């Protein structure tokens, strides 16, 4: 731990707020990835960025959930908060079934 967490004789342990701020979040990861993509595409016109980002996030999300719960679509739809029919449609879209 760095000395920045030490205050007048206190321990070097992070406070819960400091610990939460240093943990990675999905929001931070998406922000960094979008920034990197936009910088890499600097000289080219970017179109359909919204759909690109959604598909890049949605496919691994669905794959990870399906694997985690043994490919049970009913349980996956509940976990994801999706209708089972919607889940099946998305699984087909990404070639996950």
Kindly state the percentage of the chain with pLDDT values over 70: 77
Q: Residue 57, exposed/middle/buried by CB under 10 A (0-12, 13-18, 19+)? A: middle
Q: How confident is the model at residue 13 (pLDDT cuts 50, 70, 90)?
A: low
In this prediction, residue 15 carries a pLDDT of 53
* Domains of the chain, residue spans: 1-43, 47-97
Residue 76 · residue 69 · CB < 8 Å: yes
CATH 1.10.10.60 for the 47-97 domain, yes or no: yes
Q: How confident is the model at residue 24 (pLDDT cuts 50, 70, 90)?
A: confident
């Amino acid at each position: 731990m760095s000395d920045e967490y030490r205050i007048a004789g206190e321990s070097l342990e992070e406070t819960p707020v400091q610990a939460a701020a240093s943990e990675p979040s999905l929001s931070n990861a998406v922000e960094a990835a979008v920034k990197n993509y936009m910088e890499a595409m600097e000289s080219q016109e970017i179109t359909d960025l919204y759909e690109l980002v959604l598909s890049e996030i949605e496919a691994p999300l669905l794959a990870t959930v399906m694997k985690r719960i043994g490919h049970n679509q009913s349980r996956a739809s509940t976990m994801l908060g999706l209708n089972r029919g919607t889940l099946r449609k998305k699984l087909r879209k990404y070639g996950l079934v």
